[in-house]
Structure 1
């Protein structure tokens, strides 16, 4: 069974082509949004043959899926501060910086908007966040092991609770949360976790 376009990770010279195309696609998303993402334009920006782009990615959604996969792989690793609250604050700070970034912020907003009406983009976005949540889940698991959080606490629920209010603020007001807001998001998630809100199962 052959893989979908944009899902095979290349090496060597092909890797350089992929990097150039993904960089160009990210630029278009950040500058103009999903509606203006065109494979021929991306190929021109990346200085790559148009047929190469069409053959490898096949569609705009295939290209976005690969871009999100690459972003998940390249994202910074989780912090290890020695405490759950410290780790969650670091996570909130990273999310806030991403949303405030001149390129990354508009790029994410464009992809999130596209995901509301395009199933494949939505699936790729879910995979991206599954990878990132999985990267940070050990901070909660270690907190449970240290006795900071109750047994049965669901790590993914806690991690998602940190970033949820930050994304909500951006999407509903257009304003990037400040550092104080990021700290509050982490503290609220931690307080809820301590109280057992995110304990699942028996």
Structure 2
């Protein structure tokens, strides 16, 4: 008999409390303060439950990324490839503009945990796959040739934004979302 995830109830409540605690600890104290015991204390979920479900810090971080993949996010549909890419880039800018930024804290933590690194990669692959519809719609409208590599288009539009905000830690210029979206679209 296979075990299905319960959609709600105590399990879902505990997961929410634990993942909120992970984010809070990362934001307030950083990765080094993130322990299963600290998460159990902060969340109010019994430490035995936390250890049984998540096992270690890597499991906690991986589940944080998994939870983000479970959301209902879909890419915008503005009616234009360039405008869709701009809208996606604006969402990226907004995620990094939050201070403190859970996005930045989780990405930084992924460099310290193999499980979190795998989960982050799966998160991005999921987002790239979801964004593929933007390129498909553009091809259907005749804006670009059919068969364009959707992942490459999305990476070309978004990667420079991530580079500037996450790696260079620069301020988000007013035109950053539009500039890189237009550059990516012009290459098609």
> Quick one: distance in 1 between partners of 2:83 and 2:29?
36
Q: What does residue 119 of structure 1 align with?
A: 114
Q: What does residue 199 of structure 1 align with?
A: none
* TM-score computed with the length of structure 1 as normaliser: 0.84
Q: Which residue among 109, 113, 121 is the counterpart of 2:104?
A: 109
Q: Determine whether 1:172 maps to 2:170.
A: no
Q: Which residue among 163, 173, 182 is the counterpart of 1:187?
A: 182
> Quick one: distance in 2 between partners of 1:18 and 1:86?
36
- Larger displacement relative to structure 2 (18-27 or 112-121): 112-121
Task: Decide whether aligned partners of structure 1 residues 132 and 112 sit closer, same or farther in structure 2, where only a CA change above 3 A counts.
Answer: same
Secondary structure of the 2:172 match is: coil
* TM-score computed with the length of structure 2 as normaliser: 0.89
Q: What does residue 46 of structure 1 align with?
A: 43
In structure 2, stretches of 5+ residues that fail to align are: none
> Quick one: distance in 1 between partners of 2:76 and 2:9?
31
Q: Which 4+ residue blocks in structure 1 deviate beyond 6 angstroms?
A: none
> Quick one: distance in 1 between partners of 2:32 and 2:156?
30
RMSD of aligned Cα (Å): 2.0
Q: CA offset at residue 137 of structure 1?
A: 1.1
Q: CA offset at residue 75 of structure 1?
A: 6.1
Task: Decide whether aligned partners of structure 1 residues 97 and 116 sit closer, same or farther in structure 2, where only a CA change above 3 A counts.
Answer: same
Secondary structure of the 2:144 match is: coil
Q: Determine whether 1:33 maps to 2:33.
A: no
> Quick one: distance in 2 between partners of 1:144 and 1:50?
52
Map residues 73-152 of structure 1 onto 2, 5 A cutoff: 73-74=70-71, 76-103=73-100, 105=101, 107-152=102-147
> Quick one: distance in 2 between partners of 1:19 and 1:55?
16
- Larger displacement relative to structure 2 (86-95 or 73-82): 73-82
In structure 1, stretches of 5+ residues that fail to align are: 195-202
Per-residue CA deviation, residues 91-133 of structure 1 (Å, 9 max, x unaligned), is 0000100111124x3x332333333353222110011111111
Q: CA offset at residue 74 of structure 1?
A: 2.6
Secondary structure of the 1:112 match is: helix
